[in-house]
Amino acid sequence: MNWKQHDKFMEKVRERLIFHQEDYKRKKKLKGEEVDCFKMHNAIEQRKEMKQIKKILNKVMLNQFENHIQDLREFELKNSVFIIGENDRPHI
C-alpha cells in the first residue's frame, strides 16, 4: 500500500467516523421519539473498529517508511553518497 492508497483509505475512514458521530448526535437530539439503541450501538462499534484499523494502517505505513530510510542508509554507505539529513549522517 502506497501513500496515495493510504490517504484515500484514511479519508474513507474519516468520512465514516464523521457519519456515525453525526448520526449519534442527531439521535441524541431527537426528543419525544424512541432512539434506535441497536443502530446507535452499531455506530459506536464501527467507530471503534475504524480506530483500530487506523492504528494498524499507521503502524504498517510507519514500518514501510522506516524500511525505506534503512534502504537509503545502506545505499549511502555503499556509494558514499549522503541523501539523508545532516544529523543522520554516519560519522566516518
pLDDT of residue 74: 81
Query: Hunting for cell 560519522 — which residue is that?
Result: 91
Tally of domains within the chain = 1
Domain membership of residue 92 (yes or no) is no
User: Would residue 87 count as lying in a domain?
Assistant: no
- Does the residue 91 lie in any domain? no
Measured distance CA(74)–CA(78) in Å, rounded: 6
How many whole angstroms separate alpha carbon 65 and alpha carbon 57?
A: 12
Assigned domain for 45 exists = yes
pLDDT value at residue 36: 62
Which residue range is the domain that position 23 belongs to? Answer: 3-81
Q: What is the pLDDT of residues 31-67, one digit of tens each?
A: 666 556 666 677 777 888 888 888 888 888 888 888 8
Residue 17 lies in a domain: yes
Which pLDDT score is estimated for 54? 84
Dist CA 2 CA 6 (whole Å): 6
> What value does the mean pLDDT take over residues 9-14?
81
Question: Please, are residues 50 and 61 in contact by the beta-carbon 8 Å criterion?
Answer: no
Is 86 within the bounds of a domain? no
